[in-house]
Amino acid sequence: MSITIKTPAEIEKMRLAGRLAGEVLDYIGPFVKPGVTTEELDRLCHDYMIEVQGCIPAPLHYAPPGYSPYPKSICASVNHQVCHGIPNERPLKKGDIVNLDITTIKESWHGDSSRMFVVGDASIMAKRLVRVTHECLWIGIAQVKPGTRLGNIGAAIQRHAEANGFSVVREFCGHGIGRKFHEEPQVLHYGKGNEGPIMEPGMVFTIEPMINAGKAAISELADGWTIVTRDRSLSAQWEHTITVTADGVEVLTLSADAPANPFPT
């Protein structure tokens, strides 16, 4: 399958969908506190997307080949859950870390972003994992420019994660995005530099490193969706949707309260 190059008009539509995804995360942040359930966070996000933004929550009933339909409007992955956690009735407690993954569909275009939240206060290790994973995201974004190879993203992320004593999940990756939730290319968060497709202006894809405090090995729960660390160590993930520009990169899912690039130029 080939990589689609978006036109300026199409990227403008993705800019809107991306901003909306970021704004859902801005909206839900104040509700992430001890005692709230991820089921309640899902309901709040769902209602905000439908009633306020006039968009569609892409995860709801999403069913790629071999999967049962996803039952909720967001993914909520707590502590040792790596990704695709299904919201439930367990109250969050002080010290938890949770990734909320939001994908909006606006006028047929997708915007995809996820953010880590620390519930109350957390251990030094948990906060360090969250911080380093956020750094990994932006280190990956910094590799994006036309004429360079996609593998540079994963190589830079892997170097930073492993230099800090963490590991990179291999089985899941970033992806092209547009009218479809998942398109080419696959964007690995590990590997060698100067490999893979050459980045061109108009490419749009996600960068979404999943970094574990322990080993990289993962398992799938019986629900068919939730991925956890096999050793039950903590895991963190951050995600932005970006487009390659003529001279670098634009982050399409930035919003007013999105945590800033930790390496401003």
Sign of dihedral through CA atoms 2, 190, 227, 96? Answer: negative
The CA-to-CA distance between both ends of the chain, in Å, stands at: 36
Angle between helices 124-141 and 151-163 (to 10 degrees): 160
**Angstrom distance (rounded) from CA 177 to CA 242:** 10
Asked whether the predicted pLDDT for residue 130 surpasses 80, the reply is: yes
- Say whether pLDDT at 123 is over 80: yes
Q: How many angstroms separate the CA atoms of 17 and 143, rounded?
A: 23
Domain positions in the chain are 8-251
Residue 237 in contact with residue 211, Cβ under 8 Å?
A: yes
In contact, 177 and 205? CB cutoff 8 Å: yes
pTM of the predicted model, to two decimals? 0.97
CATH of domain 8-251: 3.90.230.10
Report residue 265's pLDDT band, with 50, 70 and 90 as the boundaries: confident
Residue 183: strand, helix, or coil:
strand
Share of the chain above pLDDT 70, in %: 100
